[in-house]
Amino acid sequence: MRPFSDASASTSRSTTTTTAVATTVVSSSEEHSPCCSARPLAIGVVAVSMSFALIYFLMIVPLTLPATTTPIPPFDTVSHTTVILPSTTTTIPEITTTEDPLYKYIEDKHHRLQIPLIHIPQLYEVKLKLFVPWNPSVNYGTDNFIVEGHVRVHFTSGGGSRVLLHSDSEQHVGECLVKDEFGREIFVKHVGRGFPQVLDLHLAADMIHGMNYTLDVAFRRHIRRESAAGLFAVPYVVATHLQISEARTVFPCIDVPEVKAQFDTIIIHPTGTTAIANMMDNSTVVEGGWTTTTFRRTPPMSTYLFALSVSDYPYLERYSSRGVRSRVYCDPSKLDSAQLLTDTISPVLDFYEDYFGIPYPLEKLGEFAYTTSKFIIYT
């Protein structure tokens, strides 16, 4: 066997460009020792199979890790027991297997099931109460980092007696109530949670095609702390990051980008913090340690664009020449570095409005910058 140094010796004397070096190595090994022409091939085969093994390992490992969900305190018992499983329940068998490729991976808890677009949502009224210990002196005990929510979905029905919404399995759903446009209740006889990511309501009567209905759902879940996806908390900030399909982890909805609707947002947050959302705040009411901030209705938009943040961060502010308010919220210690960003947003907004000839559609634009050891996120 030729020592490896021979090959490099022959390359170094031949030429300086890399392509030529490679040619020299191959030709010299072919000339002098046929045994070694197999070696690069063998190394290649080993390298390729190791890469496949690594890719396979990376694909398998996250799925086999044990679930680390902490138990969630029970929902308010009255609404939970009476509404989720009414005493008159006729048990509807859950589908467990089917040939439909949509359901092929239903056993996988990360599977993002598609749902048929029978009902078209027009408006979501989203109300979220955030139990965030936003500074070291605040403690809600077992409710720490819990979000209690309520959503009222106004939708135009396509008929039938089923309503399907996307809803993350960690969302503990309480009361579900369907009403027609005259306020008459349609009894929900079964709330199906058989498929991951789906809330499947079976009604006692058919809805009328083309009529408007409302669906009220109460829910409760943990605010995430391990990843910056969905509704998450890092000390001492709560924020959302819903691209591409995390809106369903914040409230039950039809979480498909082309299904656009308007949003009325109400956030109940600890007094001392400020809530920001897609639109300007309209009113703020302080009562018993909680502040209720109500926001104006959004234009029709995709669910993944829903955004909110709760913190006690200060902000810097400027207005564009058309009067669009831009603010940069950040940690008090980072205000100096935020100045440049603040001074940049409004001129850039003016430039793009002129360039595209389309005015920015909203009254405000917010940049929320925060840093921790784990995350640097700009939204």
- Interacting residue ranges for ligand NAG, rule: CB under 6 A: 122, 156, 181, 210-212, 282-283, 294, 296-297
Q: Which is nearer to ligand NAG, 125 or 255 (CB)?
A: 125
Q: Which is nearer to ligand NAG, 55 or 211 (CB)?
A: 211
At closest approach, how far in Å is the CB of 47 from ligand NAG?
A: 60
Rounded-to-integer distance, Cα 204 and Cα 218, Å: 20
At closest approach, how far in Å is the CB of 249 from ligand NAG?
A: 26
At closest approach, how far in Å is the CB of 278 from ligand NAG?
A: 13
How many angstroms separate the Cα of 68 from the Cα of each of 62, 63, 75, 106, 226?
12, 12, 20, 20, 11
Rounded-to-integer distance, Cα 138 and Cα 346, Å: 37
Q: Which is nearer to ligand NAG, 213 or 251 (CB)?
A: 213
Rounded-to-integer distance, Cα 60 and Cα 323, Å: 52
Q: Which is nearer to ligand NAG, 297 or 318 (CB)?
A: 297
Q: Which is nearer to ligand NAG, 135 or 283 (CB)?
A: 283
At closest approach, how far in Å is the CB of 205 from ligand NAG?
A: 18
- Strand-pair partners of 378: 369
Edge-first strand listing for the sheet containing 188-192: 160-166, 198-207, 188-192
At closest approach, how far in Å is the CB of 277 from ligand NAG?
A: 12
Rounded-to-integer distance, Cα 180 and Cα 175, Å: 17
Strand duo 120-131 + 230-234: pairing: unpaired
Q: Which is nearer to ligand NAG, 82 or 283 (CB)?
A: 283
Q: If we measure between CA atoms, which residue out of 174, 147, 136 comes closest to residue 269?
A: 147
At closest approach, how far in Å is the CB of 122 from ligand NAG?
A: 4
Q: Which is nearer to ligand NAG, 81 or 122 (CB)?
A: 122
At closest approach, how far in Å is the CB of 54 from ligand NAG?
A: 52
At closest approach, how far in Å is the CB of 335 from ligand NAG?
A: 31
How would you label 41-65 residue by residue, b for 16+ Cβ within 10 Å and e otherwise? eeeeeeeeeeeeeeeeeeeeeeeee
Q: Which is nearer to ligand NAG, 294 or 344 (CB)?
A: 294
Rounded-to-integer distance, Cα 193 and Cα 120, Å: 21
Rounded-to-integer distance, Cα 250 and Cα 218, Å: 12
Q: If we measure between CA atoms, which residue out of 170, 175, 275, 158 comes closest to residue 217?
A: 175
User: What's at 370, amino acid-wise?
Assistant: Y
Q: Which is nearer to ligand NAG, 48 or 205 (CB)?
A: 205
At closest approach, how far in Å is the CB of 215 from ligand NAG?
A: 14
Q: How many CB atoms lie within 10 A of CB 356?
A: 9
The token duo for 217 is 């759902």
Q: If we measure between CA atoms, which residue out of 187, 186, 179 comes closest to residue 155?
A: 179
